[in-house]
Amino acid sequence: MMILAGDITSALTSFAGLGLALILEGDGAKRVRLGWTDEAAPRLEVSAEGYDATAIAAAVHRHASGCAEEASWVQADLEGPPWDGGSAVFSPRIKAASVPEQWRALQHQRHEGIDREISMPEAIDLIGALGEPAYWRFADRSMKKPRPDEGSSRWEMKTRNRGEDFVANRLRHLAGIVSTRTPEGVGAGLTGQRTIDEAYKGNRSDESRTATGLTWPRFTDSALAWCALWGISAFPVIHRLRQPSVTAGAVPVGEFTPKRLVLPVLVGRFSLGRWRALLVSQQLVVAGDPQERSARAWLASHGARAVLQFPFQVSDNSSAPERYLRAGRIEVLA
């Protein structure tokens, strides 16, 4: 069993727990469970049959090491124009292709990568949940104003400064950092014994973007951020032809710029499957309205003690807007 660093009002904590549970299942662990402790200042607890805190940290280290290997999907770059090796195959927000041949080349490389990873369900889960560049989305029927970013997850929030993308410039970077730690160092970061933010080279906490939008800018341990970014896997994306894709947990549903993230608060030990069922439920989407008594009752009957609402912040930088989740508000389900 492991109790993760971070408090309940940071979305990073919930994402890290969900990502860690996914990593443990990918490691072969049985009876993986996740939930908040029942105390005034709840902590997020992750457990698995036969795994103590040392074994959990070792599993995360193995996972990051595998993703740091050259053959991993995390390391794959797009060859050919307009990317020419400058963007990752599986980043959902990249420079847009300009002709059908380039879109076909992109899809071909994505399909080849998925075929190679088909035996790793946790990789397929994250690839799918990140979404993809939307070759089918345009601002109007003239098809002259493409909107490829509208096929991406709302929780993939890497700022696109200088054309950087999520997989190449954050996930890949963190894989290298976490894989070079010792398993003991990984465990210390996950539990909050130490906070080492190798992904950020400066000394100002409020300038670190290691959390990649899952919390406000601040120092974040690299191992904790690694698990949190894998937590995006628990929030699937559903594509739509004439509107932006829908991301689980984003409210209002289907808007390209949501107003908030809604999460359930499950106290005790629950399976990843139970968490995912609540995260994609209609009841969770509407539970923020106190008048929705039936939705709140349904969530409570499935283990939720409360819901968390995290306001979604967007900067006014028109060329590379920064997105992040602010501190969450707890609403107890009556």
d(CA 102, CA 95): 11
Q: Which of 41, 40, 39, 47 is nearest to 20 (CA)?
A: 47
Tokens 């899809």 sit on residue: 107
CA distances from 224 to 47, 179, 228, 310 (A): 16, 13, 6, 19
Residue 329 phi, psi (nearest 5): -115, 130
Distance between alpha carbon 27 and the CA centroid of its chain, in Å? 19
Tell how strand 323-325 and strand 246-247 pair up.
unpaired
Is residue 97 within 8 A of residue 135, CB to CB? The reply is yes
pLDDT in tens, 210-261: 999 999 999 999 999 999 999 999 999 999 999 999 999 999 999 999 999 9
- pTM score of the predicted model: 0.97
User: What whole-number percentage of the chain has pLDDT above 90?
Assistant: 91
Residue 75 DSSP class: G
d(CA 280, CA 235): 7
Rounded Cα distance between 193 and 334, Å, is: 36
Instruction: Answer yes or no: are the C-beta atoms of 6 and 190 closer than 8 Å.
Output: no
How do residues 163-219 score in pLDDT, each as one tens digit? 899 999 999 999 999 999 999 999 999 999 999 999 998 999 999 999 999 999 999
For all residues of the chain together, what is the average pLDDT?
A: 95
18: left (phi over 0), alpha (psi -120 to 50) or beta: alpha
How confident is the model at residue 200, as a pLDDT? 95
pLDDT band at 142 (very low <50, low <70, confident <90, very high): low
- List C-alpha distances in Å: 34 to 8, 19, 83, 270, 297: 14, 10, 40, 5, 21
Could you tell me which of 16, 304, 283 has the C-alpha nearest to residue 155?
16
CA–CA separation, 89 and 79 (whole Å): 9
Burial annotation 116-144 (CB, 10 A radius, 16+ → b, else e): ebeebebbebbbebbbbbbbbbbeeeeee
Residue 322's region, left for phi above 0, alpha for psi from -120 to 50, else beta, is: beta
What pLDDT, on a 0 to 100 scale, did the predictor assign at position 161? 87
Residue 114 has pLDDT above 70, yes or no: yes
Q: Are 222 and 177 in contact (CB under 8 A)?
A: yes
How far apart are the C-alpha atoms of 148 and 294, rounded to whole Å?
37
- Return d(Cα 224, Cα 209) in angstroms, integer: 13
Contacts of 224 by beta carbon, 8 Å cutoff, 6+ apart: 4, 5, 6, 12, 16, 189, 190
- Work out the average pLDDT over 75-90: 95
- Percent helix, strand, coil in the chain, to 5, is 40, 15, 45
* Chain position carrying tokens 């060329």: 319
Which positions ≥6 away from 273 have C-beta within 8 Å?
A: none
In 10 A of CB 257, how many CB atoms? 12
Three-class SS state of 326: coil
Alpha-carbon span 23 to 323, nearest angstrom: 26
> What's the mean pLDDT in 40-60?
98
